[in-house]
Structure 1
């Protein structure tokens, strides 16, 4: 059912990420982001831009990288292909980096250092953090752990197992462009639409598998049914078809309430309430990190079992 080579590469990449984290310098995604920013400045004319121009920009940026990776895997000997799979997936996922960012926020909250907490959470969310109070910072960080866990970890592992490193790279690059261009603003409404829709498509199944994983892990604290109920009743109220299930199930699994009004640079935005339970705090940020880590362990155990069978 599963490729033993890919599963072993996935396990090795996740262990490598746990040991080393992301490269602090010369990360390929950083270079890709800079290139994407430059191309967007050249091709995006704002209001007069078209969906087609954004689609062409995405294809121009993504396809050469995916083809290059696929060709390298075909031409290299088997041991080198396996090593490329390990290093490639390590560069694509960011489990340790995500956890480190979350812990920096929770540590500042515990020290009651709100300015530092705002500064740290600004690195992982798009909202206006300068006007957030302590519960608002904790809520934003908890939501980011849950949603970015789905985007940066589980979706990439899903596509790696399904389509190899080219599939994981395709997803991660599209997700990066969605994070850069997928805004409903005057400048990006049309130019970023293709990236946003393609990212929604690629993340549809992985996000639901992630939500189900959160619910199962939440069962360790007796919250599996609560997580599933929150997913069923609350996810549809979210704007994003994929963030809704992930955050609703995750909030239910944590026994915390997320969502609600939040300040963004474009103004105040009312978001649906997700989950049930206590108000978000430093503990909920750390609990979300643990939930993501345990869900990742669950995925690895299932993949290894599938490969053995």
Structure 2
């Protein structure tokens, strides 16, 4: 297991996301097709909720039947290759870092227009009026939260349930990304998708928060942020609108010694949110620090998984 995870991470580092024929593109098409055939804006709240449950099952069932059959049919080298490729396609650390760098570089050159445009590809808030600190804050939030969703949760479910586990997680996460909005169209239709994603992310998110806190533990410097990160997690994490993003971002912000959150402009109106973390406001340099924090947390996960694999064998 440990070697498979390490190889998948190395493949991701070498190749990044496939530029063409990514399975998630096909998955997005399938989800959109199902939604188009079963969801109508005129449905009552109850019928929309039932339609969302039916649509969720319709999306999941054929994919999981196919991957479980394939997982049982392949053996030896071919099964190992399937596991490496599946996990590689499910994680996206290099892509996350590349997106963050596309914001970081224009900020260094004081090119706020480009930085706003690039951060708009990472977050759902209105970025047109953001200043440099706001852009840095939004990017750090995205790096920390997506580090949990796009990396650590996928590794967790692969470690727990192998190829079927990581495929199920990635499909559930994509369904939430497409249906899990609190808008008029998706408030009831996407509720099942959102709740199941919350359930599958509950344990990985808290392990990620712990690993962020541990990654902030600087042994030989006075800037030891482990205690700060743990305190932010416990005191601030539950106040966030998402039960999983809150602990992750609070611990990450505490480990970095910065403040995140505080709200933003969504669909033309200001939406307030709690302040997460402790210390100064986010700056451009913190984008790279957030990426390094995710990397250090990943090294902690690999070390723990190696120990668990070694003990198990």
TM-score band w.r.t. shorter chain: over 0.9
Separation in 1 of the partners of 2:169 and 2:124? Answer: 21
Q: How does 1:275-294 map to 2 (within 5 A)?
A: 275-294=277-296
Separation in 2 of the partners of 1:267 and 1:39? Answer: 32
- Equivalence for 2:210: 212
Answer whether contact 1:67 1:166 (CA < 8 A) is retained: no
Separation in 2 of the partners of 1:30 and 1:123? Answer: 17
Separation in 1 of the partners of 2:133 and 2:175? Answer: 30
Answer whether contact 1:139 1:281 (CA < 8 A) is retained: yes
Separation in 2 of the partners of 1:164 and 1:286? Answer: 32
Q: How does 1:1-309 map to 2 (within 5 A)?
A: 6-46=1-41, 48=43, 49-220=47-218, 221-265=223-267, 267-309=269-311
**Structure 1: stretches of 5+ with no match in the other structure:** 1-5
Could you say what the CA RMSD is over the residues aligned between the two structures, in angstroms? 1.2
Separation in 2 of the partners of 1:46 and 1:140? Answer: 32
Superposed CA offset, 1:24-49 (max 9, x none): 11100122112212322332213525
Answer whether contact 2:228 2:255 (CA < 8 A) is retained: yes
**Structure 2: stretches of 5+ with no match in the other structure:** none
Structure scoring higher RCO (CA < 8 A, sep ≥ 6) equals 1
Answer whether contact 2:34 2:58 (CA < 8 A) is retained: no
Separation in 2 of the partners of 1:116 and 1:224? Answer: 34
For these two proteins, the number of residue pairs brought into alignment is 304
Aligned in 2, Cα 1:41/1:268: closer, same or farther, shift over 3 Å?
farther
Normalised by the size of structure 1, how large is the TM-score? 0.96
Q: Secondary structure at the match of 1:234?
A: helix
Q: Secondary structure at the match of 2:181?
A: coil
Answer whether contact 2:12 2:94 (CA < 8 A) is retained: yes
Separation in 2 of the partners of 1:27 and 1:279? Answer: 37
